[in-house]
Chains A and B, each alone.
Chain A
Amino acid sequence: MSSIFEEASSYLLSPSGIAVPELEIQLNNALVPGVDYVDLYFQRVYSEGWVLEDGQVKDGSYSISGGVGVRVISEDKTGFSYSDDISLGAIKKASAAAGTIATHLNGSSTVGVKPLVSTQVSPLYGQLNPLDSMSRQEKIALLTRVDQAVKRADSRVIESTVSLVGNWQSVLVAASDGTLAADIRPMVRLNVSVILQQGERRERGSCGGGARATYGYFSEEVAVGYAHEAVRMAQVNLDAVDAPAGVMTVVLGPGWPGVLLHEAVGHGLEGDFNRKGSSAFSGKVGQQVASPLCTVVDDGTLKDRRGSLSIDDEGVATQNTMLIEKGVLVGYMQDKLNGRLMGAASTGNGRRESYASLPMPRMTNTYMLPGQDEPSDIIASVKKGLYAVNFAGGQVDITSGKFVFSASEAYLIEDGKVTRSVKGATLIGNGPEAMKHISAVGHDLGLDRGVGVCGKNGQSIPVGVGQPTLKIDELTVGGTA
Chain B
Amino acid sequence: MNVDRELEQLNQCIDSALKEADRLGATQAEVAGSCGEGLSVSVRNADVDTVEFIKNHGFAITVYKKSSKQGEAGLAKGSASTSDLSKVAIHRAVAAALDIAHYTAEDKHAGLASPELMCSNLLDLDLYHPWRVESDEAISIALSCEEAGLAYHESIEKSDGVSVNSSVGVRYYGNSHGFRAEGKGSRHSVGCGMIATSPSGMERSHWFSSSRLYTELENSVDVGRKAAERAFNRLGGKKVKTCEVPVLYSAEVAGSLIGHLIGAISGGNLYRKSTFLLDALHTQVMSPVVSVFERPRLLQGSASAGFDGDGLATYDKNIVTDGVLQSYILGTYSGRRMGMASTANAGGVRNLRASHSGQDFETLLQEMGTGLLVTHLMGQGVNTVTGDYSRGAEGFWIENGEIQFPVKEVTIAGNLADIFKNIVAIGTDTDARGNVQVGSILVESMKVAGA
Residues of A participating in the B interface, judged by any CB pair closer than 8 Å: 53, 56-67, 76-85, 94, 97-98, 100-101, 103-104, 136-137, 140, 158-159, 161, 195, 197, 201-204, 243, 245-247, 276-278, 280, 356, 358, 392-395, 397, 399-402, 404-406, 423-426, 428-430, 476-480
Contact = CB atoms under 8 A, between A and B. Distances in A.
B53 A80 contact: yes
Contacts of B316: none
Contacts of B448: 245
Contact of B449 (A56, A61, A246): A246
Contacts of A136: 99-100, 103
Nearest 9 CB-CB pairings of A with B: A478-B411, A404-B379, A404-B392, A245-B449, A56-B105, A60-B100, A426-B381, A81-B53, A65-B83
Contacts of A392: 380-381
Given A195-B272, A276-B44, A405 B379 contact: yes
Given A77-B51, A97-B53, A245-B242, 7 more contacts: A53-B272, A61-B78, A245-B448, A358-B52, A397-B378, A404-B379, A425-B381
Nearest to A394: B379
A100 B51 CA distance: 8
B414 A406 contact: no
Contact of B103 (A57, A66, A80, A393): A57
Interface string B364-408: 000000000000001111010110101110100000000000001
B37 to A, nearest CB: 11
Interface centre among A97, A101, A428 (most CB of B within 10 A): A428
Contact of B50 (A80, A203, A429): A80
A161 B379 contact: no
Interface centre among A59, A84, A394, A424 (most CB of B within 10 A): A59
B204 A278 contact: yes
A81 B52 contact: yes
A67 B85 CA distance: 12
B408 A402 contact: yes
A424 B392 contact: no
A121 B197 CA distance: 44
B263 interface: no
Interface in B183-230: 195, 201-204
Interface in B34-84: 44, 47-57, 76-84
5 contacts: A66-B83, A136-B99, A397-B378, A402-B409, A429-B409
B160 A203 contact: no
Contacts of B239: 476
Nearest to A423: B388
Given A62-B100, A158-B273, A245-B413, A85 B84 contact: yes
B391 A404 contact: yes
A424 B383 contact: yes
Interface stretch (B21-29, B89-97, B296-304): B89-97
A203 B449 contact: no
Nearest to B74: A58
A197 B51 CA distance: 52
A100 B135 contact: yes
Interface in B234-269: 234, 239, 242
A97 B37 CA distance: 13
A92 B103 CA distance: 43
B410 interface: yes
A406 B390 contact: yes
Interface centre among A85, A203, A278, A405 (most CB of B within 10 A): A278
B447 interface: yes
A247 B413 CA distance: 15
Contacts of A394: 379
Contact of B97 (A62, A64, A202): A62
A255 to B, nearest CB: 20
A98 to B, nearest CB: 7
A460 to B, nearest CB: 14
Given A84-B57, A159-B274, A429-B409, A62 B80 contact: yes
Contact of A476 (B47, B203, B411): B411
A70 B52 CA distance: 10
A392 B391 CA distance: 12
B15 interface: no
Contacts of A480: 390, 413-415, 447
A428 B409 contact: yes
A129 to B, nearest CB: 14
Contacts of A429: 409
Contacts, number: 242
B379 A64 contact: no
B55 A424 contact: no
Contacts of A161: 272
Contact of B203 (A104, A400, A404): A400
B50 A358 contact: yes
B110 interface: yes
A140 B104 CA distance: 8
B158 interface: yes
Contact of A203 (B103, B110, B386): B386
A151 to B, nearest CB: 15
B410 A476 contact: yes
B288 interface: no
A53 B271 CA distance: 11
A202 B135 CA distance: 53
B17 interface: no
B82 A65 contact: yes
Contact of A204 (B49, B136, B274): B274
Interface in B423-451: 447-451
Nearest to A83: B55
Contact of A426 (B81, B83, B391): B391
A356 B38 CA distance: 12
Contacts of A57: 103-105
A148 B80 CA distance: 28
Contacts of A476: 239, 409-411, 449-451
A67 B449 CA distance: 48
A80 B79 CA distance: 32
A65 B381 CA distance: 33
A428 B378 contact: yes
Contact of A400 (B57, B204, B273): B204
B352 interface: no
A243 B383 CA distance: 14
B57 to A, nearest CB: 6
A60 B78 contact: yes
Contacts of B391: 404, 426, 478
A277 B93 CA distance: 47
Contact of A59 (B77, B139, B272): B77
B413 A58 contact: no
Contacts of B322: none
Contacts of A100: 51, 135
A84 B56 contact: yes
Contacts of A58: 76-77, 104-105, 107, 110
B201 A424 contact: no
Contacts of A140: 103
A58 B47 CA distance: 53
Contacts of A356: 54, 56
Contact of A63 (B48, B82, B201): B82
A444 B448 CA distance: 34
A406 B383 CA distance: 10
Contacts of B139: 104
A402 B413 CA distance: 18
A404 B413 CA distance: 14
Contacts of A479: 390, 413, 447, 449
